[in-house]
Structure 1
Amino acid sequence: MLEVVGERVGGWCGGVRETSSLRQAMRARRRPNSDVYAKLDAEIATRASSLYRLKESPQVPPPQPETRPPAGLACSRCAPLSRDSWKDPKTEESGSVINILNIGRQTFANGGVVSRYLCDLAQCLHLINYDYKDVLPSVIKDEHFQRAIEETTREELEKTANEKHDEEKTYASVRKRVEERAIKVLRDISSSMSNNVLRLVAWLCHKAIRRIAGGGCGTRSACVERLRRAKAAGLPLVFVPLHRSHFDYILVTFTLYLTGLRPPLVAAGDNMRIPFFGWFLRCCGAFFIRRRVDGSENHGDPVYKSALRAYILNSLADNNNLEFFIEGGRTRTGKPQLPKAGILSVILDAYLDGTIDDALLVPVTLNYDRLVDGNFVREQLGMPKQMETFWSALRGIWRTLNTNHGSIRVDFNQPISLKELVTSFQKYNYLKAPVETSSPINSNLALNLDRQILYNHSHSSLFGADVSAEQKMMVEAIGRHLVYDAAQSTALMCTNVVSYVLLTEQRKGCSLSTLQESVEARGRALKLAGRDLGYTGEPHLVVKRALETLGGALVRVEGARHACGQRSVPAALELSYYANALVAHYAAPAVLVTALESIVCKQNVEDDTVRHSELMEAALQLSEILSQEFILCAPCTTIEERLLEALRELISQDILIDTQSPDALDEQRWSRRFARTFDDDDDESRDRSALVKYRVSSTPEAVAERRRLVQTIRPLLEAYSETCHNIRDAPQKELVGSTLDSLLEKFAQNKLIYGEAVSTDAIKNCLRLLRQWDVIEIYTDNRERKVRLCTPYNDKSNLDNICAKIHKFNMDTPLIK
Structure 2
Amino acid sequence: MVPMLKDCTRAQAIMSTNAVAFLLLTKFRKGTTLDVLAEALDQLRQELDWADRDLGFTGESVDVINHAVDLLGPGLIKRERHSEGAMITPVTMLPNVIELSYYSNALLSQYVIDAVLVTSIYSIFFEGLNGSLPSTNETVSIGQDKLVEYSLELFDILQFEFIFSKPCQYLDSLVMEAIENLKVKEILLEPEENTLNDEEQWSKRFAKHLEHEFDHSDDDDEPYFRVPHYQVDTSSKSMSYLALSELVDSCIIIMFQVDTSSKSMSYLALSELVDSCIIVMFQVDTSSKSMSYLALSELVDSCIIVMFQVDTSSKSMSHLALSELVDSGIIVMFQVDTSSKSMSHLEFLHTLLRSLLDVYVVSALVITRLVDRELPERDLVMEVLAEMKTQLDDGDMLYGESLCVDPIKNALKLFERWEILGCRSEDRIKLYHLKEAFDSETEVALVLDKLNRFKFPLNK
| Matched residue, 1:545 | 67
Q: Does the Cα contact within 8 Å between 1:588 and 1:642 map onto a contact in 2?
A: yes
Distance 1:533 1:766, change over 3 A: same
| Matched residue, 1:489 | 11
Given the alignment, which residue of 608, 622, 629 partners 2:154? 622
| Matched residue, 1:302 | none
Given the alignment, which residue of 640, 643, 648 partners 2:172? 640
Deviations 1:721-747 (A, max 9, x none): 000011123111101011111112222
Q: Does the Cα contact within 8 Å between 1:612 and 1:689 map onto a contact in 2?
A: no
| Matched residue, 2:245 | none
Q: Does the Cα contact within 8 Å between 2:189 and 2:336 map onto a contact in 1?
A: yes
Q: Distance in 2 between matches of 1:688 and 1:486?
A: 44
Map 1:504-543; keep pairs closer than 5 Å: 504-543=26-65
Given the alignment, which residue of 409, 412, 417 partners 1:772? 417
Map 1:546-585; keep pairs closer than 5 Å: 546-559=68-81, 561-585=86-110
Q: Distance in 2 between matches of 1:768 and 1:660?
A: 45
Deviation at residue 667 of structure 1 after TM alignment = 5.9
Q: Does the Cα contact within 8 Å between 1:611 and 1:690 map onto a contact in 2?
A: no
Q: Does residue 191 of structure 2 align to residue 659 of structure 1?
A: yes
Deviation at residue 703 of structure 1 after TM alignment = 1.2
Q: Does residue 127 of structure 2 align to residue 602 of structure 1?
A: yes
Deviation at residue 689 of structure 1 after TM alignment = 6.4
Structure 1 length normalisation: TM-score?
Answer: 0.38
Q: Percent identity?
A: 29
Q: Does the Cα contact within 8 Å between 2:69 and 2:77 map onto a contact in 1?
A: yes
Q: Does the Cα contact within 8 Å between 2:38 and 2:61 map onto a contact in 1?
A: yes
Distance 1:688 1:508, change over 3 A: farther
Q: Does residue 451 of structure 2 align to residue 790 of structure 1?
A: no
Q: Does the Cα contact within 8 Å between 2:355 and 2:401 map onto a contact in 1?
A: yes
Deviation at residue 660 of structure 1 after TM alignment = 4.2
Given the alignment, which residue of 361, 369, 385 partners 1:721? 361
Given the alignment, which residue of 310, 314, 334 partners 1:694? 334
Q: Distance in 2 between matches of 1:508 and 1:690?
A: 45
Q: Distance in 1 between matches of 2:29 and 2:143?
A: 31
Q: Distance in 2 between matches of 1:655 and 1:689?
A: 21
Q: Distance in 1 between matches of 2:116 and 2:435?
A: 29
Q: Give unpaired runs (5+ residues) of structure 1.
A: 1-478, 671-682
Q: Distance in 1 between matches of 2:344 and 2:328?
A: 32
Q: Distance in 2 between matches of 1:667 and 1:482?
A: 45
| Matched residue, 2:406 | 761
Higher relative contact order (CA 8 A, sep 6+): 2
Describe the SS at the equivalent of 1:569: coil
Deviations 1:86-128 (A, max 9, x none): xxxxxxxxxxxxxxxxxxxxxxxxxxxxxxxxxxxxxxxxxxx
| Matched residue, 2:23 | 501
Q: Distance in 2 between matches of 1:688 and 1:586?
A: 34
Map 1:336-351; keep pairs closer than 5 Å: none
Distance 1:667 1:630, change over 3 A: farther
Q: Which amino acid aligns with 2:38?
A: Q
Q: Does the Cα contact within 8 Å between 1:613 and 1:690 map onto a contact in 2?
A: no
Deviation at residue 688 of structure 1 after TM alignment = 7.3
Deviation at residue 619 of structure 1 after TM alignment = 0.5
Deviation at residue 547 of structure 1 after TM alignment = 0.7
Describe the SS at the equivalent of 1:561: strand
May I ask how many residue pairs the two structures share in their alignment?
324
Q: Does the Cα contact within 8 Å between 1:507 and 1:565 map onto a contact in 2?
A: yes
Q: Which amino acid aligns with 1:739?
A: V
Q: Distance in 2 between matches of 1:662 and 1:545?
A: 53
| Matched residue, 1:451 | none
Q: Distance in 1 between matches of 2:31 and 2:111?
A: 22
- What root-mean-square deviation, in Å, do the aligned CA atoms of Structure 1 and Structure 2 show? 2.4
| Matched residue, 2:235 | none
Deviation at residue 756 of structure 1 after TM alignment = 0.8
Describe the SS at the equivalent of 2:159: coil
Q: Distance in 1 between matches of 2:7 and 2:192?
A: 36
| Matched residue, 1:781 | 426
Q: Which amino acid aligns with 1:693?
A: M
Describe the SS at the equivalent of 1:777: strand
Q: Which amino acid aligns with 1:692?
A: V
Given the alignment, which residue of 449, 452, 458 partners 1:804? 449
Deviations 1:299-345 (A, max 9, x none): xxxxxxxxxxxxxxxxxxxxxxxxxxxxxxxxxxxxxxxxxxxxxxx
